[in-house]
């Protein structure tokens, strides 16, 4: 049974930092294209960061340079380091893994940006 379990969400002040984790079981993160998505209240879900199997990364323009995605193969975990968080970006952040037409979602972790 495949599980993606996010953690690390919570309350963060504008311009603050937070690190999200996505711990995988039942799949190997280095064999999947792993992504972080977010969905703000009343808005569509959007891709934030992608870590490909070959290690290459892609980012949404809105987070480029601030939200690096990383993968720890030994821990089978993917991270999203959120730096200089914007005040308007309260959202549920979800982990997504895809390979060969198979995909899995985590349940998400809430990130609330507020002073």
Residues 22-32: tens digit of each pLDDT: 999 999 999 99
Check residue 37 and give its pLDDT: 98
Helix intervals (H) in the chain:
none
Q: What are phi and psi of 29, to 5 degrees?
A: -60, -25
Structure token digits, residue 3: 């599980």
Residues facing residue 12 across a β-bridge: 113
More confident site: 88 or 11: 11
Residues 15-73: tens digit of each pLDDT: 999 999 999 999 999 999 999 999 999 999 999 999 999 999 999 999 999 999 999 99
In Å, how far from its chain's centre is CA 76? 14
């Amino acid at each position: 049974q495949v599980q993606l379990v996010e953690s690390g969400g919570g309350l963060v002040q504008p311009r603050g930092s937070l690190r999200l984790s996505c711990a995988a079981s039942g799949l190997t993160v280095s064999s999947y294209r792993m992504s972080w998505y977010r969905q703000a209240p009343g808005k569509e879900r959007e891709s934030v960061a992608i870590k490909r199997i070959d290690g290459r990364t892609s980012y949404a323009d809105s987070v480029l340079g601030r939200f690096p995605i990383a993968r720890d193969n030994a821990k089978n975990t993917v991270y999203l380091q959120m730096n200089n968080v914007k005040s308007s970006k309260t959202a549920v952040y979800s982990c997504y893994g895809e390979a060969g037409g198979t995909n899995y979602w985590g349940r998400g972790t809430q990130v609330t940006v507020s002073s």
